[in-house]
Structure 1
Amino acid sequence: MTTADFPGIAPRVSRTAFTAAAARAAHLLVDAEPSIFADTLAAPLLGPHAEELLAYHRLHGTHPVLAGARLQAVCRSRFTEDRLTRANSGIDQYVILGAGLDSFAYRAASRRIRVFEVDRPATQDAKRELLDRAGIAVPASVTFVPADFEAGPLRERLVQSGLDPFRRVFVSWLGVTMYLTRKAILATLTDLGAFAPGSEIVTDHLLPEELRDAAGNGYAEAVAPLAAQQGEPWHTFLSPAAMAGLLRAAGFEVVEQAGQRESVAPRLWNRTDALRPAALSALVHARVPAPGK
């Protein structure tokens, strides 16, 4: 089944936005405790497509590809929101690049942090419709910023949308880099590297074949052809060293890099379900250094 099988909203939303949200929602339905990440609004945001999308996980939840999709989605979200929480005492601007059906702004207990959701206009329009159908209000703290990562600088559009470039920013950029060229990744990072010193970013990247384990390669071999068929081919695979090099070239200092196992607390791997960490992707947390560093 593909998003093309759904009329109405689905064709306007990236396939990956739906599958990532379905994976986060299914984690709470299929997997055992302890939960890695509790996205309680993921299922409502699937709208009329929830049952179809979640049925795969309910019926075949132990399949390595579906379990891998859930693990990929929840580990990166947990890693990112944990780092945001740590930074939150001094940062009140949060930019979500490729926001898709991300629900942070609607789950957040505090509205003190201003959230800028960046994505393609069609995806944002569809998300607004899904939020409305689910009875989820869009708080005043949320700003939708229409943008395309291949179409030029983002920083200017964010500033035009109300972001203060002289105050620190936290940026989440998840599940996107593999669909871009290395040139586009560097251009976006360089743009973001011009934010105020102390600004932070968390992003992820797929590992090249030689750095993946058997589970990671199995997932990639199954999913990459499907992604290409859906018009969203994987373009870029980066080693942790290569990703760190791009970040440094863009003006960041690397704070932390983590594989799936290291991305969440060790206690969360005491599991009785099908979730097992794999060498498929990696996460990186970086910061704009103070002048002179």
Structure 2
Amino acid sequence: MNEGQPSRTALSAAAARAAHPLVDDRPLIFTDPLAPRLLGGLADEMIGYHRSNGGHIILAGTRTVTTVRSRYAEARAGAFGQYAILGAGLDTYAFRAPAGRRVFEADHPATQEWKRGLLDAAGIPVPEHASLVPVDFEAPDGPVRPLAAAGLDTARPALVSWLGVAYFLTRDAVAGTLAEIGRLAPGTELVMDYALPPGLRDADGDAYAEIAARVVRDSGEPSRTWFAPDEVNALLKDHGFDVVENLTLERAVPPRAWRRTDALRPFDYFRLVRAVVTGRPVTG
């Protein structure tokens, strides 16, 4: 994000989650009841875009990817006593999670300060089981040290989600973060999304990517990195993970989620991968 400026991508993702139950037909893919409150005075305007232009490929596509990836990640949270959300943006899981499950939100310091202001304005308290941890993913020391300082028990398995972030970082920064996560306790699970390069997307994915590239570039948050699925699998293996599944949006949720009469359709630009830290020494 630009220093001192709200992240447009974080706002767009929160607006898409807030708009989904208001704009789209049933079955709902995912519900985030706190998203409209967190948007505060921006909620009517941003949700209004979805109400009036909900079939536009960018708006419908953003509702699709944000709801699918949130549902996919949160479905894994119940298996772990601690959950680290890297690049949390305006995610609200920490404020909906059951008591007793530690949740750590890691994001850019400016994003965290901005989010605290939105939480205060919305009257949403930060619960005792939640910690907002400032992290710079481009910094050489990575996210694990500040997470551990905030209370993440690195000797116990955790769920780590890293969604809507990797494509805005350099390849070196992605690899560095994966190396850090790969040194966490064996059994730690990572849920991550990534963007496909040209030639591997479907037609709708190409159309979404072309428009989205202009939007995020103009907002000062340009996409930087794309991966083929085999590249992601190899990178994870190199940093101490076993890949459990590497999925299209279509396959990341039950088939009944796509029995739809609205504008939401699975498109192939973003993929979701789930991998487990093995604890085996990394060679090479």
TM-score (norm 1): 0.92
CA distance in 2, matches of 1:174, 1:291: 25
How big is each residue's C-alpha offset from its partner over 1:225-255, in whole Å with a ceiling of 9 and x where there is no partner?
1211111111111111111111111111101
Q: How does 1:118-197 map to 2 (within 5 A)?
A: 118-152=106-140, 153-197=142-186
Aligned residues: 281
SS in 1 for 2:199: helix
How big is each residue's C-alpha offset from its partner over 1:163-222, in whole Å with a ceiling of 9 and x where there is no partner?
111111110100000001111101100011000000000000001111111111001111
Is 1:116 equivalent to 2:116 in the alignment?
A: no
Aligned-partner residue type, residue 46 of structure 2: L
Report what 1:254 is aligned to: 243
CA distance in 2, matches of 1:69, 1:190: 29
CA distance in 2, matches of 1:215, 1:63: 12
CA distance in 2, matches of 1:82, 1:93: 14
How big is each residue's C-alpha offset from its partner over 1:255-274, in whole Å with a ceiling of 9 and x where there is no partner?
11110100100111111101
8 Å Cα contact 2:89/2:111 also seen in 1: yes
Unaligned runs of 5+ in 2: none
8 Å Cα contact 2:7/2:111 also seen in 1: yes
Q: How does 1:276-287 map to 2 (within 5 A)?
A: 276-287=265-276
CA distance in 2, matches of 1:60, 1:291: 50
SS in 1 for 2:222: coil
Identity of aligned residues (%): 49
SS in 1 for 2:13: helix
Q: How much is the aligned-residue C-alpha RMSD, in angstroms?
A: 1.7
8 Å Cα contact 2:240/2:279 also seen in 1: no
Is 1:69 equivalent to 2:62 in the alignment?
A: yes
Is 1:47 equivalent to 2:44 in the alignment?
A: no
CA distance in 1, matches of 2:205, 2:251: 15
CA distance in 1, matches of 2:59, 2:279: 42
SS in 2 for 1:210: coil
8 Å Cα contact 2:182/2:239 also seen in 1: yes
Is 1:16 equivalent to 2:9 in the alignment?
A: yes
CA distance in 1, matches of 2:280, 2:228: 28
1:31 pairs with 24, 27, 51, which one? 24
Report what 1:200 is aligned to: 189
Q: How does 1:79-94 map to 2 (within 5 A)?
A: 79-85=72-78, 88=79, 91-94=80-83
TM-score (norm 2): 0.95
CA distance in 2, matches of 1:290, 1:187: 17
Report what 1:212 is aligned to: 201
Moved over 2 A (4+): 10-13, 290-293
1:58 pairs with 40, 51, 54, which one? 51
SS in 2 for 1:46: helix
CA distance in 1, matches of 2:203, 2:269: 9
CA distance in 1, matches of 2:163, 2:18: 17
Report what 1:7 is aligned to: none
Report what 1:270 is aligned to: 259
CA drift at 1:290: 4.7
CA distance in 2, matches of 1:249, 1:27: 38
CA drift at 1:84: 2.1
Report what 2:277 is aligned to: 288
How big is each residue's C-alpha offset from its partner over 1:135-174, in whole Å with a ceiling of 9 and x where there is no partner?
2111000111101100122111111111111111110100
